Amino acid sequence: MPDRVLVTGAGGYVGRHVVRSLLDRGHEVVATVRPSSRAEVDLRATIVAADILAPDFDVNTLSDTPFDGVVHLAWQDGFAHNAPSHMEQLSSHFRFLEALTDWGVGRLAVLGTMHEVGYWEGAIDADTPTNPLSLYGIAKDALRRASFVHLAPRVPLQWLRCYYILGDDLNNQSIFTRILTAAAEGKTTFPFTTGKNRYDFIDVSELGDQIATVSARSDVTGIINCSSGVPLTLAERVETFITDNNLPITLEYGAFPDRPYDSPGVWGDASQILAIMADEPAK
């Protein structure tokens, strides 16, 4: 059944795709963006400019009645893994989620990250121990732990753990962004590592569909991997990207050493999300 859904961080890299996917599925969406944001959000949504992490922010200003569901994606400096803001705003995120719970929203879905886990070799599932190695991972892991201890007893809670995202590549500040920039500058080679490490890559549009689908399920709670479940070497994925985009650029293998703290292979166990997607009625 169509729901009234609040999406925070709707103007962000992932948020725009989640809003679009929820609307395509017939849901009514209220999308929050930062007051200074110029992001293009699907105009079918009700767009609200608000600083939801401000100490005096009142969730009641978002709607006359609590939402059926909330998808909390808002997060500052998500591409800068050791930015101080991750720790500085941790309490603000928890305060906001607690206020939504107290208000009486139907369910909460919060975006997590594989960086909560830290160094790991192989598939990550809901029971994989966490030992984050960046401020981003530490803050997300702390929010997850606090939310399941204090909020999950009162509201259905989903922690949507995402992996390596690509697509919409001019906006994701990834290696794919840097390759596009290099090609646009007329460069014909791109310095690279050995590219042997294997990762779980997912297109941001597909990720948006996964988040929209699972966040509408009140019968699914806990940690859910939003991922492909298919490990590919970095070299395979980047070479495919170069070919798909017809870029006149060649990778210069071995120009940079592989980072010693990177796992030789890490990916999400996607069995649960694939089953959820297979169970979704046709749009």
136 in active site: yes
CA–CA separation, 270 and 224 (whole Å) = 8
Contacts of 165 (CB under 8 A, 6+ apart): 13, 14, 172, 174, 201, 202, 203, 204, 207
CA–CA separation, 114 and 267 (whole Å) = 9
User: Which residue in the list 13, 119, 136, 253 is annotated as catalytic?
Assistant: 136
Query: Strands 231-233 and 198-203: what pairing?
Result: antiparallel
DSSP 79-101: T-TT-THHHHTHHHHHHHHHHHH
**Can you say whether the dihedral through the CA atoms of 171, 177, 182, 188 is positive or negative?**
negative
**What amino acid positions are annotated as catalytic residues?**
136
